[in-house]
Amino acid sequence: MKVVIIGAVAGGATAAARLRRLNEDAEIILLEKGQYISFANCGLPYYIGGEIQSRDELLLQTPQSFYRRFRIDVRVLSEAIKIDRERKTVKIRNLADKSEYEESYDRLIYSPGAKPIVPPIKGIDRGNVFTVRNIPDTDRINEFITENSPEKAVIIGGGYIGIEMAENLYNRGLKVTIIEKAPHVIGSLDFDIACEVHKVLREKGIDLILGEGAEEIYTDEKGQTVLRTSNCTIITDMIILSVGVTPDTALAEDCGLALSPNKAVIVNKNMQTSDGNIYAVGDCVTVENLVTGVPSHIPLAGPANKQGRIAADNICSVKSEYKGSIGSAILKLFDVTVASCGINERAAKAAGLDYDKLILYPLSHAGYFPGAENISMKVLFENKTGRILGAQLVGRKGVDKRCDILAVAIRQGLTAYDLQELELCYAPPYSSAKDPVNMAGFSIVNILEGLVKQYHWHDVDSLPRDGSVTLLDVRTEGEYIRGRIDGTVNIPLDSLRDRLHELDKTKPVYVNCQSGLRSYIACRILSQNGFDCYNLAGGYRLYSAVTNEAERALKPALECGLSLN
């Protein structure tokens, strides 16, 4: 059996190694149009920032080491330029000498990955504008920084790579501005949780321009590079493009493989394309979103590696299926961790799901043990069943652990009732006897069972202030004085039972505290005394954060101290 693999990074290299482990006699040819194979592209920003000091650390394999270990014919600088499905051949161009030749195949694995999106910005084709996708990209960035000593950088796009680049350029001593066309950074998050990321970035002095796209890059009369948006101009020394990726599937389209509307290759659970002799894996394919059942493009390293293994299994007659993805992702931002899994609210609405959300701020470990930190947790769940749909977390400690647990819960179709019962490791330095994941389960079940009714930050401003409802703040008097929701009256929680006579039982009561915990207790007191009570999810902490961010978004250029047109 002869297998040709196009693309030698995550999916392709994994497939090649798995093929050899399953079939010692197969002829395996691994083609890569770049100079490097199996490199750690997720580590590229950290090499630029200096946290990974040796370039060689990014090279997980070389053609020579791959051959010694697996006896696989690895050909770098070899670009597949045509697939002939009838003849079962691949036309290849040697990029070193420009010669062309053909290779036949019994099975073909297509793993070209994705390519950076280059937006149609006037003047974008300049020597100080960079993408971050491979090792040559990082070489160019490092050379530019070393030779030109830039002081300012603009990052166009606030996704995972954009945020990582912001941190690492900051660590190189540059003043950084992020421009994001959406209302918030990191598309997998919802606005309310993304506000926490905005806060971290601004505390470090990183400027954010949200809700605006870059329109033009030019050189002014002083020879400075200027980037213009619809509302402001920014003088910068270098620009990083990080607006996302798109499947690199021109070759698949040319040979007539079935593609999705966004040009990703359509595959079945065995990673077979519409041609049974051709498999596709990695960032070029569309897979099922396990939460919604909708075909999705989820370009992540973990899924790519699994898909490469599954394609190799099926070529070697080992039954194996890729059952879908939930898009688990995590990000280091200075001393903060940002993580998500499953779907966000936009995806839940698009899928027509009947869902609600819980926001809580549990401690990373036992409060009496030194060093405990709050974790901001948002969990989406299905109203009728309690099935966990998605989670978003931000915090300094314990975020990765909780997100991984919730990712398992989502993948296995667990409900809030199941979260209550999870028996997780506990010792004071690591967790609490009721872990944050358990607490999420308890809180959601309280909602599902009708023990508490919620309202959300986006409902607050529409509540009537005409006396037909009661807006109640149960924080301490000092907290209330420092900031409050307009129209609320203050009765601290510990005084509530003695002051129930001050409230009108004929009016619904909308309660808030700082985080949602004390107001939950207040709602239990009120409900058992005949009041119709609603608890503000996430409390005043969340409400003030999102409303302040919304106000800031109205005048981003002024907030960043940038020059207006």
The alpha carbon torsion through 185, 190, 191, 196 (nearest 10 deg) reads -70
DSSP 390-425: EEEEEESSSHHHHHHHHHHHHHTT-BHHHHHH----
Sheet bearing 214-219, strands edge to edge: 214-219, 225-229, 232-236, 563-564
Which residues does the annotation mark as catalytic?
42
Return the bridge partners of 236, or none: 225
Q: Are 165 and 177 in contact (CB under 8 A)?
A: no
Q: Could you tell me the two tokens for 297?
A: 């493009």
Q: Are 336 and 194 in contact (CB under 8 A)?
A: no
Q: What 3-state DSSP class applies to 62?
A: coil
* Cα separation, 407 vs 417, whole angstroms: 16
Identify the H or E element spanning 246: strand 245-247
- The amino acid sitting at 214 is A
Q: Are 133 and 14 in contact (CB under 8 A)?
A: no
* Cα separation, 45 vs 332, whole angstroms: 11
Identify the H or E element spanning 502: none
Sign of CA dihedral 121, 125, 129, 135: positive
Q: Are 534 and 509 in contact (CB under 8 A)?
A: yes
* Cα separation, 221 vs 213, whole angstroms: 24
Q: Could you tell me the two tokens for 560?
A: 């960043």
Helices (runs of H) and strands (runs of E) counted in the chain: 16, 32
Spatial CB neighbours of 234, under 8 Å, sequence gap ≥ 6: 154, 177, 179, 209, 226, 227, 228, 562, 563
- The amino acid sitting at 425 is C
